[in-house]
Structure formats: structure tokens, C-alpha cells
Amino acid sequence: MKLDKTLVLKIASLAKIPISEKEADELLSGFNKTLEVIDNLFSVDVKNIEPLYQTTFLENVFREDIVDEKSMLSQDEALREAKNKYNGYFVVDQVLEED
């Protein structure tokens, strides 16, 4: 497996992380070093082996659907750490554009 710079820039945009050209080069070289190490994965015999996504083997852990007011944040608390707020709202970047 090997990545190229176009793919690195594409992944950065999917990750919503701005990166410079220089950084893209550095990341690319790191990725390819890492992928060399990962390649040995494909030499392991995994025929007839089901993938495993967790180790607890627990299934369907439910709880009562009851509102616990003690674990709720007040509006002030919820907004406290936001850098950008307006009239009790979080301010977000514009998503929709005028056509």
C-alpha cells in the first residue's frame, strides 16, 4: 500500500483539518513508513476467521429511559466553554450558501 499527495490532501479535507503543502509532504512520508509496517498484516492466515469489533461480548445493554435532571447541564453551563455564542445560542460556520 502506498499513498500519494493528492490522496493526503483529500483525506485532510475529509478530516476538516487545514494543512500546508509542506505538512502534506511530511504526513505523506510518515504514512508510507507506517503502511510498510502494516503490510505484514496481509501475511497472516485469516481464512474462515470472523472479524471482531469488541472484546466484552456484551449484547444489547439497555437502561430505563428516564430523564435524570441531576445529570443535565443548565443552559449557562452548556454554553460556558463555547468560544462563539450569541443570545444563548452556539454560533456555527455558515453551511448553506445562497444560489
Partner 1 sequence: MLNTLTLKKALTLLEKKEISLDDLYHDLWKVYEEKNQLLNVYLSVDKDALKKAKENENKPLKGIPIAVKDNFLTVGLPTTASSKVLDGYLPQYESTVTKKIKEAGGVVFGKTNMDAWAHGSSTETSDYGPTKNPRNPKFLPGGSSGGSAAAVASDMAIASLGTETAGSIRQPAAWCGVVGLKPTYGRVSRYGIIAMGSSLDSPGPITKTVEDSAILLNIIAGKDKKDATTSEKEVPDYTLALKKDIKNFKIGIVYIDHPQIKSTLAAQKTLEAGKLFEKLGAKVDLISTSKNLEKDKVLSHEHAIAVYTIVQRAEVSSNLARYDGIRYSNPRKYFGHEAKNRIMLGIFGLSNFLQQEELVYKTAQKVRALYIKNFKQLFSKYDLLISPTSPSFALPLGATSGDPMFGELQDMLVEPSSLAGICGISVPMYKDAKTNLYLGLNIMADYFQEEKLITAANIYELNNKI
Nearest distance in Å: CB 69, partner 1: 14
Specify the length of the chain in residues. Answer: 99
In sign, the C-alpha dihedral spanning 81, 86, 89, 91 is negative
Nearest distance in Å: CB 99, partner 1: 25
77/98 with CB nearer partner 1: 77
**Of 13-42, which residues contact partner 1 (CB under 8 A)?**
14-19, 23, 26-27, 30-31, 33-34, 37-42
Q: Is 8 exposed, middle or buried (0-12, 13-18, 19+ CB in 10 A)?
A: buried
Contact with partner 1 (CB under 8 A) among 22, 65, 67, 73: 73
Contact with partner 1 (CB under 8 A) among 22, 65, 75, 81: 81
Q: Which residues contact 91 (CB under 8 A, 6 or more apart)?
A: 82, 84, 85
37/99 with CB nearer partner 1: 37
